[in-house]
Amino acid sequence: MPELAQRLADVQVSASAAMTARARDMGARGIQVISLSSGEPDFPTPRHAIEAAYQAALAGDTKYPPQGGTLALKQAVQRKFRRDNNLDYALDEIIVGNGGKQVIFNAFMATIDPGDEVVIPTPAWISYADMAKVAGGVPVTVPCPQNNGFRLRPEDLEAAITPRTKWVMLNFPSNPTGAACTREQMRGIADVLLRHPQVWVMTDDMYEHLVYDGFEFCTIAEVEPGLKDRVLTVNGVSKTYAMTGWRVGFGGGPAKLIKGMFNMQGQATSGISTVGQAAAAAALDGPQDLVRERAAEYRQRRDLVVEMLNAAPGISCHKPEGAFYVFPNLAGCLGKTSKGGRRIETDTDFVFALLEEKHVAAVQGAAYGMSPYMRISYATDLASLTEACGRIQEFCRDLT
């Protein structure tokens, strides 16, 4: 049988997707699993966005779309960047993709040559490293430990940049930790980047509106306008507006980069769903009160989960500033045996035993580049979170 491409040899299947699939498998067998493994809002898509998609379809907006995004959506993205981020992008500095993931992939494929390095603060969404590898790049991880709030220190970033560095990735609020950077902390990162004019900077701002306790979000090109001509600001409607299935992401950046990404997208998918773009434009331009209301609900969920996990023997849970994840430390649970007889030597052992014995799905920290932790998504209802965290407490109490 012919072989697969070598480029896939070191590319992993998403651990969160694998755990979610495993939980669904168990559900199909009649086992009631509470899944905290998927980063997907449980809220419905705003009604006005659905209506906009419906009206677009009725009006015949069902033909091939413009490759880089419809004019209406690009103008809505332009207004969003001005309103939320104080960033002015011309229309030829904006691209729309099949989710933020394609925007990131386009950028890597358009810029990375074999051996180029991509600096990634960790813990991090695993897809950053794998997309860099597919493009021929080399991921360079920069640990951001819990004692620094899982944030990137300027001196650690400085040490990681080499003459081969092509990109620096930023994702605050972060998946998987929920950590966010203050303006002062982002200023320190910007000062490092100013000293390395050969480096592109990508900021994944998907969770910008999910911040709590009065925390103020900022993005790197806003904090330091001098970087704007080499920053790609990535965002989308998936997390903010609960539109994960619509697959609409977008990016703003220098026209030269956007042109290269446009070319790459043309070879991969061309344009994206016309009705999805109509829905996204309506979400971006429509009432934003819903965003704040949902953020308040997420904050309530975060507080519940952090409190209950910290009451579980052997677990220590940091309270994050944003997103809808917590990243609890499992060190106190290692070296023990579960009630079902499973030896817990790693965070991977922990999450698989938890799933099998208590039917709660989480994702091991190893998947995101830091152990011994697990990622829990609290993008689900309070009743399910209360039950799941109660099961986790029981699981930990039973460890011997």
Contacts (Cβ under 8 Å, ≥6 apart) of 223: 183, 186, 187, 190
Residue range 263-275: average pLDDT?
A: 96
pLDDT of residue 9: 82
What is the mean pLDDT of the segment spanning 149-171? 98
Provide the percentage of residues in the chain whose pLDDT is more than 90: 91
Mean pLDDT, rounded, for 137-143: 98
11-15, 20-24, 237-241 — most confident range:
237-241
pLDDT at 17 over 80: no
- pLDDT band at residue 128 under the 50/70/90 scheme: very high
User: What is the per-residue pLDDT across 195-216, written as a single tens digit (0 to 9) for each?
Assistant: 999 999 999 999 999 999 999 9
The strand pairing partners of 316, in sequence order, are: 329
Q: Record the pTM.
A: 0.95
Q: How confident is the model at residue 182, as a pLDDT?
A: 97
Of 31-45, 182-196, 223-237, 256-270, which range is least confident? 31-45
pLDDT at position 234 is: 98
* 113: confidence class by pLDDT, cuts 50, 70, 90: very high
d(CA 45, CA 365): 30
Please give the mean pLDDT across all residues of the chain. 96
Identify the CATH number of the domain defined by range 47-285: 3.40.640.10
Q: What are 376's strand-pairing partners?
A: 326
pLDDT tens digits, 37-71:
988 999 999 999 999 999 999 999 999 999 999 99
Does 3.90.1150.10 match the CATH number of domain 6-44+290-397? Answer: yes
Residues 88, 309: Cα–Cα separation, whole Å: 42
pLDDT for position 325? 98
Per residue, what are the HEC states of the chain?
A: CCCCCHHHCCCCCCHHHHHHHHHHHHHHCCCCCEECCCCCCCCCCCHHHHHHHHHHHHCCCCCCCCCCCCHHHHHHHHHHHHHHHCCCCCHHHEEEECHHHHHHHHHHHHHCCCCCEEEEEECCCHHHHHHHHHCCCEEEEEECCHHHCCCCCHHHHHHHCCCCEEEEEECCCCCCCCCCCCHHHHHHHHHHHHCCCCCEEEEECCCCCCECCCCCCCCHHHHCHHHHHHEEEEEECCCCCCCHHHCCEEEECCHHHHHHHHHHHHHHCCCCCHHHHHHHHHHHHCCCHHHHHHHHHHHHHHHHHHHHHHCCCCCECCCCCECCEECCECHHHCCEECCCCCEECCHHHHHHHHHHHHCEECEEHHHHCCCCEEEEECCCCHHHHHHHHHHHHHHHHCCC
Structural domain boundaries of the chain? 6-44+290-397, 47-285
Say what the pLDDT of residue 168 is. Answer: 98
Beta strands 363-364 and 374-377, pairing class: antiparallel
Share of residues in the chain with pLDDT > 70 (%): 100
pLDDT at 25: 84
- Tell me what pLDDT residue 307 has: 98
pLDDT reading at 16 higher than 80: no
CA distance 339 to 397: 9
The pLDDT score that the predictor gives to residue 84 is 98
